[in-house]
Every structure is written in structure tokens, then in C-alpha cells.
Amino acid sequence: MTEGSLTPFRDTAARIAQDKGYLAMAVGSDGARSHTWWKRLVEYGPWQTRGYGRLGPPDPEALDGIAKLFGTTAEQVAVMVAADWYGVRPAADVSAHVRRLSPLLDRLNEADGELVGTLVRRLADDA
């Protein structure tokens, strides 16, 4: 997710699509959305029609599968959906721990940020 992004869900999907492709995204999300849905999202964005009808947000039942694909929680996916489809952004109310690390994380390039994210997810799984 890029700093200050207005479309964190789409940005995350686009980054994953570059590495995996749309069919792998459908499989990696446990079929939460089809490869066509992922392709339309990345290429056109939320709510866009492009002759296929509106691309609506994922339903609550799809969030766990998408969270698995994104390497995050269903709650974080819901926040990303709210931002992309409805323009709703969370308040910046975060813990002191996160505020302390935030400036350091913001200085990392995208690749290093991904590496730190992988490490944090691994350590959190072991906790």
C-alpha cells in the first residue's frame, strides 16, 4: 500500500498481480473473487463499468480469502474496501508502538517495506 493512497485495495491487488497473475490471485484468495474480477479491478478500478457492469466491492464472506491473499487480516481488508469503494478512511488513531516505528518505516523503499512486512507477519504468527 502506498503512502496516502486513495485506493489501497487496488494498489495491493496490482502489486500482487505483477508477481502472481490474476488466476493465481483467484486461487490464492480461496476463490473469494474470480480472475476476471481481479483483472477488472486492477485495470479499471472500483465501480468502473467498461461495458461489463459495475465492479462492486467484495462481500463480507470474501474478506477472509482476500486477507489470505493480501497477507493481512479481514479487518484490514475491510478498511481497504471502505477506502477504495466508499472513500472512507480510518482515523489516524494508532498505538504508541506504531507511531514510534512509523517514521522509520516511511523511509524504506517499496522492496524493503515488503521485506519488513513479511518479517513482521512471520513474527506475529509465532507470537
How confident is the model over 54-113, as pLDDT tens digits?
A: 899 999 999 999 999 998 889 889 989 999 999 998 776 666 567 667 777 888 898 999
Question: HSE on the CB side for 112, CA within 13 Å?
Answer: 6
Helix, coil or strand: residue 99: helix
Its CATH architecture, for the domain 8-86, is Orthogonal Bundle (1.10)
The confidence score (pLDDT) of residue 94 equals 64
C-alpha distances out from residue 123 to 76, 85, 119, Å:
18, 31, 6
CATH 1.10.260 residue ranges of the chain are 8-86
